[in-house]
Amino acid sequence: MVNDKGGVGKTSLVANLAGQLAASGYRCLLIDLNRQANLADDLGYRDDQRDDQGTGLLMSVIAGAALEPVTDVRPGLDVVPGGARLADLVPLMVSRLQERDREAFRVLADILAPVAEPYDVVFIDCPPESPILTDLALTAARWVVMPTKSDAGGLVGMRLVGERFALARELNPDLGLLGSVLFATGSRSVQVHAEDRGAVANAFGGRSPLFAASIRHAERSAQDARRLGKLAHELEVEVAAQPAWWTALRDGTGTGGRLSTTAAGVAGDYRDVAVELLTLLRTVEEPAAKTRAEATR
């Protein structure tokens, strides 16, 4: 999940897509490359014993040793946490790049490979404004998904990703662009979406795969999610269980602290994106897997 711009939904998307896929039986791994580690808030492990602030990831890179994910942050969902310790990752990479040139970018792929096997999907949450960490992720990944907001800033981040993408393919020729997801869209206007499609096409040299599904703008439920460490589909369940506003009013329990009822719609949007993601992966990966199987027969 890449976009050089912050605030375009990378973290919200990886957390919710991995969360919903894990809840429906797919084994998922999430790797957090962010110093701020908003993922820890979204999944609710900030500052508890699982939150190593990126130490494990940094140590694996230093030693070239396999990653050791925190298991079952949700059933079926494992995480390699990010955090403040990742501040040391950039200078480390800079010195390695001086020694071994761009080959040094293979390190994430190398420490991920030994643990990746049991997972159906591995998500990497990329940081904004960090070409080095983005290159690290793009060298390890198979597919790029690029969230974007319908504003000029989001489009700038996109162009930068296009450049890093082209460079990363020299080391990782299998890297492909799966698509772009519109995030926090207020308008369902076809006109706006057509402009976004054009911008994606410009950034990636002609192809413009824009997901049909998008995530609606819903600020209050996003705040509930991050404050409570719950994913949209988990809030959806709690919203359904909360007493009607008029009961709360009648009983004098007040309406403060109530969860935003938009969570259900947002959870539905993430579900649609997750289904589209899996469908796309099936279409693009199954023929390749078949060819490989035939070649080894």
Ligand X SMILES: Nc1ncnc2c1ncn2[C@@H]1O[C@H](COP(=O)(O)OP(=O)(O)O)[C@@H](O)[C@H]1O
Shortest gap between Cβ of 114 and ligand X (angstroms)?
Answer: 27
Q: Which of residues 21-80 bind ligand X (CB under 6 A)?
A: 38
CA 230 to chain CA mean position, Å? 16
**Contact of residue 184 among Mg ion, ligand X, none (CB under 5-8 Å per partner type):** ligand X
Q: In terms of DSSP bridges, do strands 77-80 and 70-74 run parallel, antiparallel, or are they unpaired?
A: antiparallel
Q: Does 233 bind ligand X (CB under 6 A)?
A: no
**Contact of residue 131 among Mg ion, ligand X, none (CB under 5-8 Å per partner type):** none
Nearest residue (beta carbon) to Mg ion:
11
What tokens were used for 211? 């997901």
**Contact of residue 217 among ligand X, Mg ion, none (CB under 5-8 Å per partner type):** ligand X
Beta bridge partners of 145: 179
Stretch that binds ligand X, among 1-9, 43-51, 53-61, 161-169 (CB under 6 A): 1-9
Going residue by residue from 169 to 198, which x/- string records binding to ligand X, judged by CB under 6 A?
---------------x--------------
Kindly determine how many residues on this chain lie close enough to bind ligand X according to the rule CB under 6 A. Answer: 18
Distance separating alpha carbons of residues 284 and 289, to the nearest angstrom: 9
1 vs 11, 27, 80, 99, CA distance in Å? 8, 18, 15, 28
The identity of residue 178, as a single letter, is L
Q: Residue 94: CB partners within 8 Å, gap ≥ 6?
A: 132
Distance separating alpha carbons of residues 10 and 137, to the nearest angstrom: 13
Shortest gap between Cβ of 253 and ligand X (angstroms)?
Answer: 27
Contact call for residues 155 and 148 (beta carbons, < 8 A): yes
Distance separating alpha carbons of residues 213 and 112, to the nearest angstrom: 30
Shortest gap between Cβ of 241 and Mg ion (angstroms)?
Answer: 29
- The correct pick among 10, 85, 230, 233 for binding Mg ion (CB under 5 A) is 10
Going residue by residue from 17 to 46, which x/- string records binding to Mg ion, judged by CB under 5 A?
---------------------x--------
What tokens were used for 122? 């591995």
Beta bridge partners of 32: 125
Contact call for residues 195 and 163 (beta carbons, < 8 A): no
Shortest gap between Cβ of 13 and Mg ion (angstroms)?
Answer: 9
Q: Which of residues 199-218 bind ligand X (CB under 6 A)?
A: 215-218
CA 206 to chain CA mean position, Å? 24
Distance separating alpha carbons of residues 70 and 266, to the nearest angstrom: 27
Q: Does 266 bind ligand X (CB under 6 A)?
A: yes
Q: Does 12 bind ligand X (CB under 6 A)?
A: yes
Give whichever of 146 and 210 is closer to ligand X, judged by the CB atom: 146
Shortest gap between Cβ of 296 and Mg ion (angstroms)?
Answer: 39
Distance separating alpha carbons of residues 101 and 94, to the nearest angstrom: 9
Shortest gap between Cβ of 125 and Mg ion (angstroms)?
Answer: 6
**Contact of residue 74 among ligand X, Mg ion, none (CB under 5-8 Å per partner type):** none
* Tally of CA atoms within 13 A in the half-sphere of 149 that contains its CB: 14
Q: Which of residues 136-175 bind ligand X (CB under 6 A)?
A: none
**Contact of residue 9 among ligand X, Mg ion, none (CB under 5-8 Å per partner type):** ligand X
Where along the sequence are the contacts to ligand X (CB under 6 A)?
Answer: 6-12, 38, 128, 184, 215-219, 222, 226, 266
